[in-house]
Amino acid sequence: MHLSWPGGPLHGTAQLPASKSEANRALILQALAGGGTVGNLSDAHDTQLMRRLLAAAPGTDVLDAEDAGTVMRFLTAYLAVTNWHGRLVGTARMQQRPIGVLVEALRQAGAGIKYLNNEGYPPLELAGFTASKETEAPTELAVRGDISSQYISALLMVGPRLPGGLRLRLTGHVGSRPYINMTVALMQLFGADCSAEDATLTVRPGHYQPTDYTVESDWSAASYWYSLVALAPAGSEITLSGLRRESLQGDQAIVEMMTHFGVETTFRPDGIHLKQQPPAPQAEVLTLDFTDCPDLAQTVAVVAAALNRPVDMTGLESLRIKETDRIAALQAELAKFGGDLREVSAGCFRAESVGFAVNNQSVATYHDHRMAMAFAPLALRGPLNIESPTVVKKSYPQFWNELAKSGFVINEAD
């Protein structure tokens, strides 16, 4: 796909997909509750896949989570406690993404799960759930706090189904805390008795209640519009609907982060308004921590390099096991423009550039929706090509249409 910008400031209103983080949790909770409605579900592939597999599970013995990490992890726990028998499979990339921590915890709770190929990785064979005995004592599990929050959320959501409930202790540093808090808040909305105290999460046995819930728009998707406003000509602004000041999503951190790149946010009753402002003078190198919002890292790295605003980025550990190795992918693609992402100390990566220029380069997307959307805003600085642009269907299927509506010239690349 060839992208270019005709010139002038960026103006208008853009539509966002609903949060797939909220939606996929709400769909699991709705299934466990046996009723209720989940409103504002997006057409994002991961959300529709979760919905489809939950509906199909009672009548099939093979379910394909494809390349969706949230779907694979949440379904593993859900299918285990609902006594499902069958195989849960995924793409070749999914078979490289670890799931051993979750499987081992579920086995301790009573799930029968086997690995079909490599130990610790999908595909899986599930053989039902056998509680050791009826007891009032909760199932006690300990998992590392720095693993993917999806493992932790998967265990929490099935906690009420375990005899005696669940007491989950997180060891070491706890990452992605907002996603854990989101899970707890949604569980409580669906009637669960659960609490989070420091590193101990307690879920009491019981039943979820059918509940109606409307999903908020996606702050991760909004981050690309922040990038667009930051990189656009002076005077640019955009309005985004469906976002809340009081949000469950950790990626709302983009509001504060983008002040360093000259984007001002005004909250309105129906969403937010973004306006480009001259960035305030900053220290030589800005430091930002992505521990709680790793999905923002690609967006910020690209903007920092394009604006030559050096940023030291920490909390990127989980990027190695996403749809691709996102650190390696960023390094390879930024280099095409004169950008750089290098490790300057243990776990700290600096994004910066020397002679950054956009001139018809082709960006590889590595089967990763966020690579496509993080690099697309560079078209405001010059023409470029995006390889395999359909990857955006995973989370924001209408992304290219929304760019076209805002004035981008989009053609099929030669």
Task: Please indicate if the annotation marks 20 as binding a ligand.
Answer: yes
Percentage of residues in the chain having pLDDT higher than 90: 85
197 and 258 in a single domain? The answer is no
Which of these three, 214, 230, 245, is where a domain ends?
214
Task: Please indicate if the annotation marks 245 as binding a ligand.
Answer: no
Task: Using the predicted structure, report yes or no on whether residue 323 has a pLDDT greater than 90.
Answer: no
Task: Please indicate if the annotation marks 394 as binding a ligand.
Answer: yes
270 and 355 in a single domain? The answer is yes
Q: What is the arithmetic mean of pLDDT over 19-30?
A: 96
252 and 207 in a single domain? The answer is no
The closest alpha carbon to 393, from 413, 365, 367, 369, belongs to 369
- Which residues are identified as catalytic? 295
End-to-end C-alpha distance for the chain, whole angstroms: 8
What does the mean pLDDT of the chain come to? Answer: 94
80 and 206 in a single domain? The answer is yes
Q: What is the pLDDT of residues 139-185, one digit of tens each?
A: 999 998 878 889 999 999 999 999 899 999 999 888 778 999 999 99
Task: Please indicate if the annotation marks 128 as binding a ligand.
Answer: no
323 and 230 in a single domain? The answer is yes
294 and 237 in a single domain? The answer is yes
201 and 228 in a single domain? The answer is no
Question: To which residue do tokens 């020397």 refer?
Answer: 354
371 touches 364 (CB < 8 A):
yes
DSSP string covering 184-238: HHHHHHTT--EEEETTEEEE-S-------EEPPBPHHHHHHHHHHHHHSPTT-EE
Burial track 377-394 (b if 16+ CB lie within 10 A, e otherwise): bbbbbebbbbebbebbbb
Which of these three, 185, 214, 243, is where a domain ends?
214
Task: Please indicate if the annotation marks 52 as binding a ligand.
Answer: no
173 and 304 in a single domain? The answer is no
Task: Please indicate if the annotation marks 322 as binding a ligand.
Answer: yes
Which of these three, 180, 214, 248, is where a domain ends?
214
174 and 54 in a single domain? The answer is yes
Task: Using the predicted structure, report yes or no on whether residue 136 has a pLDDT greater than 80.
Answer: no
Task: Please indicate if the annotation marks 153 as binding a ligand.
Answer: no
195 and 226 in a single domain? The answer is no
Full domain range(s) for residue 239: 2-17+217-411
203 and 273 in a single domain? The answer is no
Let me know how many helices (H) and strands (E) the chain has, helices first.
12, 22
Q: What is the pLDDT of residues 374-412, one digit of tens each?
A: 999 999 999 999 999 999 999 999 999 999 999 999 998
240 and 381 in a single domain? The answer is yes
Number of domains in the chain: 2
CATH assignment of the domain containing 46:
3.65.10.10
Task: Please indicate if the annotation marks 132 as binding a ligand.
Answer: no
pLDDT band at 322 (very low <50, low <70, confident <90, very high): low
